[in-house]
Amino acid sequence: MMIFKKVEQISNHIEIKIREKLSRHPIIYAFIGGIGVISFWRGVWRMIDYAMESYTSIEVIQNAGGVQSLWWDGPLSIAFGMLLLLPTGLFISSFIGTEIAISGLKGEKKIVTKTEQEVGEEVQESTKIEREIKDIDNHMKYIEELLKKK
């Protein structure tokens, strides 16, 4: 268990460094992310195709070059996609989104499963927070005016 924690810490450190560098070059970042997502889904697609071909006992379809489908083509594409997506921090955000991941960490319910009362309470909470922020802003302005007068 300790080994997994160490590996996770190291991979998080690497991910942060890579994201910092790539965030300065958004076009390259997007290009790498696009290749990663497409490779991942291509692998999933190929694995399902191969499973269906094997299951239905249909002769393996040959492409124009005459090469048969290979069982490892799908897993290799998935691995390549993950190799691009995991260290760039795009794997989770590409497939489940950051809002869903954060709400899961907080233990929140999905909006569709919340009752009308729960949604109302959240709206009231948000309104209360907005008022408090405005009050703090007003206090800051008042303090700034006092300091300018001195």
Per-block average pLDDT, block size 10, for the chain (150 residues)?
A: 76 82 86 90 88 66 51 86 85 65 57 65 85 91 85
* Calpha distance 83→106 (Å, rounded): 28
Same domain, 9 and 80: yes
Q: Is 125 inside a domain boundary?
A: yes
Supply the range of the domain harboring residue 68. Answer: 1-97
Same domain, 1 and 59: yes
Same domain, 27 and 79: yes
Which pLDDT score is estimated for 40? 92
Which pLDDT score is estimated for 68? 54
Which pLDDT score is estimated for 35? 92
Q: What angle do CA 81, 99, 125 make, to 5 degrees?
A: 175
Which string of DSSP letters, residue by residue, matches 113-137?
A: GS-HHHHHHHHHHHHHHHHHHHHHH
Same domain, 40 and 112: no
Which pLDDT score is estimated for 66? 44
* Calpha distance 10→87 (Å, rounded): 11
Same domain, 83 and 145: no
C-alpha neighbours within 13 Å on the C-beta side of residue 68: 8
Q: Is 31 inside a domain boundary?
A: yes
Q: The tokens of 27 are what?
A: 């076009």
Structurally, the chain folds into a number of domains equal to 2
Q: Is 102 inside a domain boundary?
A: no
Q: The tokens of 87 are what?
A: 């260290």
